[in-house]
Amino acid sequence: MNEMHLKFLSRSENENFARNVVAAFALPLNPTLDELSDVKTAVSEAVTNSIVHGYRACEGWITLMCRTDGDTLHIEISDDGRGIEDVEQALTPFYTTLPDEERSGMGFTIMQTFMTTFSVVSEAGRGTTVRMSKQFGARATEDAR
């Protein structure tokens, strides 16, 4: 088991930083390129949601925690931003609170699709936490059958 914690400002340039840090942290689990791409995409979506929806026009902190457990990578991304009033509605594909900015409303759907487990906890005015995990290797392929 290994664990890391990272805290960074909600600036768009930090999205790429976060995805690469998580990818580097996952390397000892020997992910395939496709598995690594899935993780990087899910992290990008979660961080972008914090930046765009959690903090909107202001700046705040995003906390990223990762832990390995056997062949599984666990990721938690949280912010102290605006929060989500209706999480169930936010999880609906194509739902977006910013249609004028051409947001697709697919961020949570992408995270759910690319990761083995996924959950969102949020409270309006207090922030959002996304928890997800990715199981790597042969066991993950067998479980999917």
Catalytic: 142?
A: no
| Residue 21: Cβ-neighbour burial (10 angstroms; 0-12, 13-18, 19+) | middle
103 assigned to active site: yes
Query: What secondary structure does DSSP assign to 84-99, as a single string?
Result: -S-HHHHTSTT--S-G
The model's pTM is 0.88
**Catalytic residue of the set 14, 15, 35, 49:** 49
Per-residue pLDDT in tens (0 to 9) along the chain, 145 residues = 999 999 999 999 999 999 999 999 999 999 999 999 999 999 999 999 999 999 988 999 999 999 999 999 999 999 999 998 877 777 776 666 655 555 555 678 899 999 999 999 999 999 999 999 999 985 544 555 4
**CATH class of the domain at 2-144:** alpha beta
* Active-site choice (15, 45, 76, 82): 45
Is 19 an active-site residue? no
